[in-house]
Amino acid sequence: MEYSTSRLAFIFLAIVCKAHITKSQYLSCNSNDLMALNGFRKCVASPVDGWGANLDSECCSWAGVTCDNSTVTQRRVIGLDLHGRGLAMEICESLADLDQLSTLNLSHNNLHGFLPDKLFQMQNLEVLDLSGNKFVGSFPLHIHLPRIRIFDVSDNNLVGSLTSTICDRSLSIESLNFAENRFHGEVPGNFGNCTSLQRLFLNGNSLSGSLPERLFQLEHLRELQFQDNGFSGLLHERIDNLSNVVKIDLSNNLFSGVLPDVFGGLRKLEHFAAKSNKFSGQLPPSLMSSPSLSTLNLNNNTLDGCISINCSSMARLTSLNLRSNLFQGALPENLSTCHRLNVLSLAQNHLSGVIPSSFQNLQALTLLSLSRTKISDLSSALHILQRCRNLSVLVLSESFRDEEMLGHADLLFPNLKAFAIGNSQLKGSIPVWLRGCKNLRLLDLSWNQLSGSIPVWIGDFRFLFYLGLGNNSFTGDIPKSLSELPSCINSSRSFPPAGSPSNVPLLLGRGQGRFLTYNQFWNLPSTLDLSYNKLNGPIWPSFENLKGLQAFYLDNNELSGNIPNSLSGMQSLEKVNLSHNGLTGEIPASFQKLTFLSAFDASYNKLSGAVPLGGQFSTFPDSSFEGNIGLCGSSRPSLRSCQSQAKPPSDELPNDEASTDGTPYSQMAFGIGAAVGFIWTVSLCFLSGWVLDKGQRRR
Ligand SMILES: *[C@@H]1O[C@H](CO)[C@@H](O)[C@H](O)[C@H]1NC(C)=O
Ligand SMILES: *[C@@H]1O[C@H](CO)[C@@H](O)[C@H](O)[C@H]1NC(C)=O
Ligand SMILES: *[C@@H]1O[C@H](CO)[C@@H](O)[C@H](O)[C@H]1NC(C)=O
Ligand SMILES: *[C@@H]1O[C@H](CO)[C@@H](O)[C@H](O)[C@H]1NC(C)=O
Ligand SMILES: *[C@@H]1O[C@H](CO)[C@@H](O)[C@H](O)[C@H]1NC(C)=O
Ligand SMILES: *[C@@H]1O[C@H](CO)[C@@H](O)[C@H](O)[C@H]1NC(C)=O
Ligand SMILES: *[C@@H]1O[C@H](CO)[C@@H](O)[C@H](O)[C@H]1NC(C)=O
Ligand SMILES: *[C@@H]1O[C@H](CO)[C@@H](O)[C@H](O)[C@H]1NC(C)=O
Ligand SMILES: *[C@@H]1O[C@H](CO)[C@@H](O)[C@H](O)[C@H]1NC(C)=O
Ligand SMILES: *[C@@H]1O[C@H](CO)[C@@H](O)[C@H](O)[C@H]1NC(C)=O
Ligand SMILES: *[C@@H]1O[C@H](CO)[C@@H](O)[C@H](O)[C@H]1NC(C)=O
């Protein structure tokens, strides 16, 4: 209290007098520390924001500097937090002269160069965070940080082995983070000397070999992140020693052999992930009856046998991903007693039979993926699953082969947001019951043999942003209502709430029959795919409404009429395919305005006139225009060349006149288009997806 009052008074005085005060009874920091800080800032190209003048001894009030309260005249710097300040420099050794420093946080800057050895000899340092920089070089062999608790060098460009003395004399170390660097070699056995260790992050390196047995003696370990390395060998049975461990991630390594049946000892384990390894054999009973386990991900291994699970003891299980293994037999009946199960993926296994009727008890289920299995009886499956009232993502592609889509069944999926059942050779028509799925955002029925017309009511789905109907036998006009899809009009999507699963496998027609795995598949571009059908009639000019649509596939139909000039109002378009139809007239010059357009194909129609030159058009290959007798193009060898004055420059694009052949304009437009497109894609990836709350904008 007295201190802060004096401090206020001091600041007041300082302002009033505008005096240059070099010494203050209350605020002066230790001269040694001042020298160290000034030494540090000499390395910085630009001044450090919030730091006083060089001679100013009030370093305790500088931004990010914390001093202790020990003595009045000689306050010591004990903390330096300069995270996220855009510092671009090498760190000077002088920082290590802050001999009372206990916390150093320089994370998320642009620091580069080598790590000075002296930094790793600081006697009082407890927290060292250098993460998120561009440090290079190898990790120092000799580390003597006797008081260190938290050590973080993650997300840099460090190389070499992890061999070091860090654990030998640091008895209080709790957290070691080496993630996202380029370390290689094995994990040194002396990590076992870090007896207080709780968290070890090695993910995202090139580490190899097996895990040292001594690691499993660390009884305080709570979190082990080893994913994305080249670790191999068996998973050691001594892992059962880790009775405090809560989270283990071994994903994307080369571990092999059977999973040891020792999970009974891991009494606090909540999250176990070992996806994309080479584990084989059966599921260990102790794992499949773990009372603490909440999420289990064994996706993409070669596990086999039946899926045997004891839900009476696995009371906390919320997410089970066993996708892409060699499991066989029927879907386990007793899975239905896992009452908290929220996410279930059993796709890409040799499972057969039908969905047990007890699955209707999975009332917490929001995501179910059973694609690429031999499961059959779609009719009973849908009747059972509609009782799972919370089901919001249902992926059944490449299962239920050759069955009939239930056209007129009385089904209700009020919460369904995504429904995919592609490549199943389904017959029948678009089922009427889908109309009740008012929350649909994504509908994929592509690669089937569905026929009949596309119902008008599809345009009523308020949230639909992805419609995949490609490669079926639909006939008739494109319903005009599709040009009124609200979610494609406003480029805003109403995203499902957060807390949703990762790694949802979808089969989408445009993916050429491959499974596309999207961590957050709500990131898919807004798409209308009607390709490979038998649709006829015109492309409605009103499609210009769809200002948020990114991909528009109409190829391989029997469409006729002109390409409406108004389509250039679809300002988000990135991909357009109109090939193999009977379209006539010209390619509208206004399409040059579509700056995001990266693929355009109008081949094999009856188009005429000149191929536009500006905008993105200079980047499209000749093959996008071939097979149109009437089309001509300047500087397009495979097309007939146009009469040079055949077409006046478009008055919509004044820039076109400035450049005689359109090249500078088009290159610039392409450059801007590409740059904007790139930024836009990157931001999309970060911004959108499950994590977004309702109503947030895509841009
Ligand atoms: C110094 O003292 C003030 C007021 O008593 C207190 O709020 C602050 O946390 C102390 N700082 C340190 C580093 O001990
Ligand atoms: C360093 O600062 C960042 C930003 O405040 C923070 O997220 C991080 O936890 C800090 N590091 C440590 C080890 O406390
Ligand atoms: C650290 O571990 C190594 C081998 O892993 C061992 O030889 C050494 O004695 C240990 N050092 C201490 C101080 O415990
Ligand atoms: C862990 O293993 C070590 C030796 O390998 C043993 O001394 C220790 O008692 C074990 N701890 C537990 C909790 O089982
Ligand atoms: C599956 O795991 C293998 C390595 O075992 C990896 O090469 C492959 O990319 C993984 N596939 C998927 C879809 O994750
Ligand atoms: C699961 O149910 C089957 C019968 O359907 C039974 O034989 C088996 O023991 C059950 N498994 C577990 C772990 O409860
Ligand atoms: C399943 O777990 C319960 C509770 O732990 C146990 O009583 C039962 O015997 C187990 N069932 C099987 C088939 O292992
Ligand atoms: C179903 O979803 C609602 C709303 O998200 C939630 O409140 C309810 O708990 C869920 N039901 C179950 C059984 O988890
Ligand atoms: C259409 O789907 C069938 C399977 O139903 C597939 O074999 C074929 O390759 C697909 N054709 C196109 C062009 O995607
Ligand atoms: C589009 O968004 C605007 C406001 O951003 C809103 O007024 C309008 O109702 C929305 N249109 C539709 C069809 O959702
Ligand atoms: C358009 O679709 C056709 C098949 O109908 C395909 O061959 C062509 O590659 C597609 N064009 C683009 C640009 O993707």
Question: 225-262, pLDDT tens digit by residue?
Answer: 999 999 999 999 999 999 999 999 999 999 999 999 99
Instruction: Please work out whether the CB of residue 555 comes within 6 Å of at least one atom of ligand 11.
Output: yes
CA 652, CA 589: separation in Å to the nearest integer?
9
* Residue 623 CB burial class (10 angstroms; 0-12, 13-18, ≥19): exposed
Q: How far is CA 3 from CA 31, 230, 446, in A?
A: 21, 55, 72
Distances (CA, A) of 434 to 394, 411, 678: 13, 8, 36
3-state secondary structure 655-668: HHHHCCCCHHHHHH
For the chain, give me the number of helices (H) and strands (E)?
A: 6, 43
Compute φ and ψ for 179, nearest 5 degrees: -60, 155
State the average pLDDT over residues 485-500: 65
Q: Taking a C-beta distance cutoff of 8 angstroms, is the pair 139, 158 a contact?
A: yes
- The chain-wide mean pLDDT, for the chain, equals 85
Residue 68 exposure: Cα atoms within 13 Å on the Cβ side: 14
pLDDT of the residue at 13: 40
Examine the pLDDT at 69 and tell me if it is beyond 50.
yes
Instruction: Return the number of other C-beta atoms located less than 10 Å from residue 50's C-beta.
Output: 12
**Helix locations, 402-533, DSSP H:** 486-489
Instruction: With cut-offs at 50, 70 and 90, classify the pLDDT of residue 302.
Output: very high
Confidence grade of residue 337 (pLDDT, cut at 50, 70, 90): very high
Half-sphere exposure (Cβ direction) of 114: Cα atoms closer than 13 Å: 10
- Residue 2 has a pLDDT of 47
* Count of other CB atoms within 10 angstroms of residue 70: 10
pLDDT per residue as tens digits for the range 400-421: 999 999 877 789 998 998 899 9
pLDDT for 18: 37
Residue 209 has pLDDT above 70, yes or no: yes
Stretch among 55-59, 446-450, 627-631 having the lowest mean pLDDT: 55-59
Q: Does the structure show a pLDDT above 70 at 22?
A: no
Q: Is residue 294 pLDDT above 90, yes or no?
A: yes
> What pLDDT is stored for residue 43 in this prediction?
78
- From 540, 536, 534, 508, select the one nearest 521 (Cα to Cα): 508
The per-residue pLDDT for 46 is 72
Counting ligands in written order, which one lies closest to the CA of residue 244? 4
Handedness of CA 162, 166, 171, 176 (dihedral sign): negative
Q: Over the stretch 70-106, which tens digit does the pLDDT of each residue have?
A: 766 678 899 999 999 888 888 888 899 999 999 999 9
Look at residue 664 and tell me whether its pLDDT is greater than 90: no
pLDDT digits (tens, 9 = 90+) for 347-358: 999 999 999 999
Among 421, 424, 471, 530, the mutation site with the greatest number of ligand 9 atoms within 8 A of its Cβ is: 471
Residue 508 — pLDDT band, cuts 50, 70, 90? low
338 CA distance to ligand 8 centroid (A)?
15
**Ligand 3 environment, Cβ below 6 A:** 168, 189-190, 192-193, 214
Q: Which domains does the chain have, with CATH numbers?
A: 475-652 (3.80.10.10)
Mutate to test the pocket of ligand 2, among 81, 129, 131 (most ligand atoms within 8 A of CB): 129
Average pLDDT over residues 306-330: 95
Measure Cα distances from 196 to 152, 199, 329 in Å: 16, 9, 45
Here the tokens at position 49 are 């924001």
Atom of ligand 4 nearest to the CA of 243: 13
Q: Is the pLDDT of residue 662 over 80?
A: no
Longest dimension (CA), the chain: 90
Q: How remote is the CA of residue 87 from the centroid of ligand 1, in Å? A: 28
Ligand 1 pocket, 68 CB below 6 A?
yes
Which residue's CA lies nearest to atom 10 of ligand 6?
334
Tokens representing residue 429 in the block: 């028509």
Q: Which of 300, 324, 345, 519 to mutate to test the pocket of ligand 5 (most atoms within 8 A of CB)?
A: 300
